[in-house]
C-alpha cells in the first residue's frame, strides 16, 4: 500500500476552528517585528556578524513571520533581544564609519526603541505603521513585500535546518538581509523587487539541495521502506515537525528506555533513510498530518515533542504534556526542552497512560529509487510519444482534490507524460513516484526533466512553508506553468495568491476540464 491521506479523514483543523489566520492584534506586533528586522538588516549588511547574531535573526524570522502561534510572549522575547543586540551593532557601525550614511536609521532606531517600551505602546505603534503603509504603499508593492517576507521565512527555516548539521550557506543569509533591507516606503519598482524575489527563491532551492545531500551523508541514501501506522501497547512519545536531525537526538536520548517513538506529518520522511531503521524504538507514523493536528494530538496518549518551527495551533491544547525545542519562550502550557535534556519528556511518557491495547493498521510504502525513476523517464521521453509533461505534486487530502486529479488524469491526452507524486493510476502514460512528504523530490525530478525542453505543467496540491518559494523558482523557467490548489490562508492568502498570479503567472487550480483547455489553448 502506498501512502496518501485516507478518505475517511476529512477533518481539517484550519477550517473547523478557524485557526490558520493571524488576528489584527498580532498583525500589528508583526509589523513592529518587521521594522526591527529591517533596521537590523540595514546595519548587518555592512558588518561582520557573529554566529549568535545570525542565529537570532533566523529564529526570529521563522517564529514571528506568518505564524498563527506567534504570541505576545514571543514578541516581547524578540524585542528584548533586539534591544540588546541593535545598540551594539549601531555603535560598531559608527565606529567604522565616521561619516555615516545611516544617520536616519539611527534616529529611526531611537524612535522604535521608545515606541516599544511596553506591549500597549507597541500595539499602537504597529497599528499606526500598518495603516500608514496602507495609505502610502501601492497594493502591488505591499504584496511583493509580503512575498519577500514569505521567502525569508522559508530561507530561515532551511538555513536553521542546515545549521543543525553544523553547516552554513553564507549566500542564503546575505539574501535574507538584502530582502529585509528593501522593505521600505521608498522602493516601488516592481521589476526590481521581482528580480530580488526570484534570486532569493533560487538560493532557497540550492539550500534545500544541500540539506538533502547532507542528510544522505549522515543517514545513508534514501530508499523505499514500509512504514507502520499501527500502534502497540506501550508508553509512547510523538515527534512533530520536519527537522529529522532533532528526531535523531530524541531517539538517541530514549534508546535505552522502554518508550516507543512515533513520527507525525513531515517527520515521516525519516523512515526513508537507512540510519533511522536501526532505532528499534522508532515504531512508525501516527495520525494524518498537520491539517488534522487537533485530532491527532488529542488522541495521542503520551507526550508530544514539537520540534523547531512546528508550533502549530497549540493554543487549542490543554493537556499539559506538550514539549518544544523551539528557540523562543514557550507558549502557555508548553514545556521548553533546554540543552537537549529529555528527562522531563521521559518522566511524562512513563506517567502517561500510553497505548493500552494498540491498533492494527495496514503498513504504507514510502520512498523511491531515484535511478529507477530516471530510467523510466528516459525510456518514456526517448520513445518520442510525448509532446509535453505534467507533474502532479505531493499528497492531497481532500475528496475535492482527489476528484480533480482523477478527472485530470482521465482527460489528459495520451501524448502527455504524467509524473505523479500523489495520484496513482494504471494509465500507460503515468509514472507514479511515492515520496510522501518529500517536497524536495519533485524539485529534483523537475531539474532533470527540464533539460528535455518539453513544455511542463506543474500542479501543486499541497502547500507548506516552502511552497511559495518553490513555485516562484519553477515559474521562472521557459515553457513551465504552475497551478496551485487551495492552501491554508496562513501559507497562501488571497492577496499573496493575487501577487503570484499577476507577477509570476502562477495560477489557481479550477476544474480539470478548464485547466486542460487553457493549457492546450495556450500551446496551440
Cell of 244: 529529522
- pLDDT for 309 equals 75
Whether the per-residue pLDDT at 78 is higher than 60: the answer is yes
Per domain, the residue ranges of the chain are 225-351
Tell which residue, 47, 22, 18, 46, has the closest CA to residue 34: 22
Whether the per-residue pLDDT at 118 is higher than 80: the answer is yes
- The H helix count followed by the E strand count for the chain is 18, 14
- pLDDT for 156 equals 96
Average pLDDT of every residue of the chain: 86
Confidence of residue 186 (pLDDT cuts 50, 70, 90): low
- pLDDT for 331 equals 58
Whether the per-residue pLDDT at 39 is higher than 50: the answer is yes
Paired sense of beta strands 259-264 and 456-460, if any: unpaired
The residues, ordered by sequence, that sit 6+ positions from 69 with a Cβ below 8 Å of its Cβ are: 311, 312, 313, 314, 315, 331
Weakest-pLDDT range from 24-28, 54-58, 217-221, 369-373: 24-28
Over residues 162-184, mean pLDDT: 93
Over residues 296-301, mean pLDDT: 87
Whether the per-residue pLDDT at 330 is higher than 60: the answer is no
- pLDDT for 397 equals 59
Q: How far apart are CA 404 and CA 508, in angstroms?
A: 13
Whether the per-residue pLDDT at 1 is higher than 50: the answer is no
- pLDDT for 99 equals 63
Torsions phi, psi of 421, nearest 5?
Answer: -100, 10
- pLDDT for 332 equals 60
Whether the per-residue pLDDT at 481 is higher than 90: the answer is yes
- pLDDT for 414 equals 94
- pLDDT for 74 equals 81
Tell which residue, 126, 110, 20, 114, has the closest CA to residue 75: 126
Q: How far apart are CA 244 and CA 246, in angstroms?
A: 5
- pLDDT for 160 equals 94
Confidence of residue 460 (pLDDT cuts 50, 70, 90): very high
Annotation: CATH topology of 225-351: Rossmann fold (3.40.50)
Confidence of residue 18 (pLDDT cuts 50, 70, 90): very low
Weakest-pLDDT range from 268-277, 317-326, 436-445, 492-501: 317-326
Over residues 400-407, mean pLDDT: 87
Whether the per-residue pLDDT at 323 is higher than 50: the answer is yes
Whether the per-residue pLDDT at 5 is higher than 50: the answer is no
How many beta carbons lie within 10 A of that of residue 385, not counting itself? 13
Amino acid at each position: 500500500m502506498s501512502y496518501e491521506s485516507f478518505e475517511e479523514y476529512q477533518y481539517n483543523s484550519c477550517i473547523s476552528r478557524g485557526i490558520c489566520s493571524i488576528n489584527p492584534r498580532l498583525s500589528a506586533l508583526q509589523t513592529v517585528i518587521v521594522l526591527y528586522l529591517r533596521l537590523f538588516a540595514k546595519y548587518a549588511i555592512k558588518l561582520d556578524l557573529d554566529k549568535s547574531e545570525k542565529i537570532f535573526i533566523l529564529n526570529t524570522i521563522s517564529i514571528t513571520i506568518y505564524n498563527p502561534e506567534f504570541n505576545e510572549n514571543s514578541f516581547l522575547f524578540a524585542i528584548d533581544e533586539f534591544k540588546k543586540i541593535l545598540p551594539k551593532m549601531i555603535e560598531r557601525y559608527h565606529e567604522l564609519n565616521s561619516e555615516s550614511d545611516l544617520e536616519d536609521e539611527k534616529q529611526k532606531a531611537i524612535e522604535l526603541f521608545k515606541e516599544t517600551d511596553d506591549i500597549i505602546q507597541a500595539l499602537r505603534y504597529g497599528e499606526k505603521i500598518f495603516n500608514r503603509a496602507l495609505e502610502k504603499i501601492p497594493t502591488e508593492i505591499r504584496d511583493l513585500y509580503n512575498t519577500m517576507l514569505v521567502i525569508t521565512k522559508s530561507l530561515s527555516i532551511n538555513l536553521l535546518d542546515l545549521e543543525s548539521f553544523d553547516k552554513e550557506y553564507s549566500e542564503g543569509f546575505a539574501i535574507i538581509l538584502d530582502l529585509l533591507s528593501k522593505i521600505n516606503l521608498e522602493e516601488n519598482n516592481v521589476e526590481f523587487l521581482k528580480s530580488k524575489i526570484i534570486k532569493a527563491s533560487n538560493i532557497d532551492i540550492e539550500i534545500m539541495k544541500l540539506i538533502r545531500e547532507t542528510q544522505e551523508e549522515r543517514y545513508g541514501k534514501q530508499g523505499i521502506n514500509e512504514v507502520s501506522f499501527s500502534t502497540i501497547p506501550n508508553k509512547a512519545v510523538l515527534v512533530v515537525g520536519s527537522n529529522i536531525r532533532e528526531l535523531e537526538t530524541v531517539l538517541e536520548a530514549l534508546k535505552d528506555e522502554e518508550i516507543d517513538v512515533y513520527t507525525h506529518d513531515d517527520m515521516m520522511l525519516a523512515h526513508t533513510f537507512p540510519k533511522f531503521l536501526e532505532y528499534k524504538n522508532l515504531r512508525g507514523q501516527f495520525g494524518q498530518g498537520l491539517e488534522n493536528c487537533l485530532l491527532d494530538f488529542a488522541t495521542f496518549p503520551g507526550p508530544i515533542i514539537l520540534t523547531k518551527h512546528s508550533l502549530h495551533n497549540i493554543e487549542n491544547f490543554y493537556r499539559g504534556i506538550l514539549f518544544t525545542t523551539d528557540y523562543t519562550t514557550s507558549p502557555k502550557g508548553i514545556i521548553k526542552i533546554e540543552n537537549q535534556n529529555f528527562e522531563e519528556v521521559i518522566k511524562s511518557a512513563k506517567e502517561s497512560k500510553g497505548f493500552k491495547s494498540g491498533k492494527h493498521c495496514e503498513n504504507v510504502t514510502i520512498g523511491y529509487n531515484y535511478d529507477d525513476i530516471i530510467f523510466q523517464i528516459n525510456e518514456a521521453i526517448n520513445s518520442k510519444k510525448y509532446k509535453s509533461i505534467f507533474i502532479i505534486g505531493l499528497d492531497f487530502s481532500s475528496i475535492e482534490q482527489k476528484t480533480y486529479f482523477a478527472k485530470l488524469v482521465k482527460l489528459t491526452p495520451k501524448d502527455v507524460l504524467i509524473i505523479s507524486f500523489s495520484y496513482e493510476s494504471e494509465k500507460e502514460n503515468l509514472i507514479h513516484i511515492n515520496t510522501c512528504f518529500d517536497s524536495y523530490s519533485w524539485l529534483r525530478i523537475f531539474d532533470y526533466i527540464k533539460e528535455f525542453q518539453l513544455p511542463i505543467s506543474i500542479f501543486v496540491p499541497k502547500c507548506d512553508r516552502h511552497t511559495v518559494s518553490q513555485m516562484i523558482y519553477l515559474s521562472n523557467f521557459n515553457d513551465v506553468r504552475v497551478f496551485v490548489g487551495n492552501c491554508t490562508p496562513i501559507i497562501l492568502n488571497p492577496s499573496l495568491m493575487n501577487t503570484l498570479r499577476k507577477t509570476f503567472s502562477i495560477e489557481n487550480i479550477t476544474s480539470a476540464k478548464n485547466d486542460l483547455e487553457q493549457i492546450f489553448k495556450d500551446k496551440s
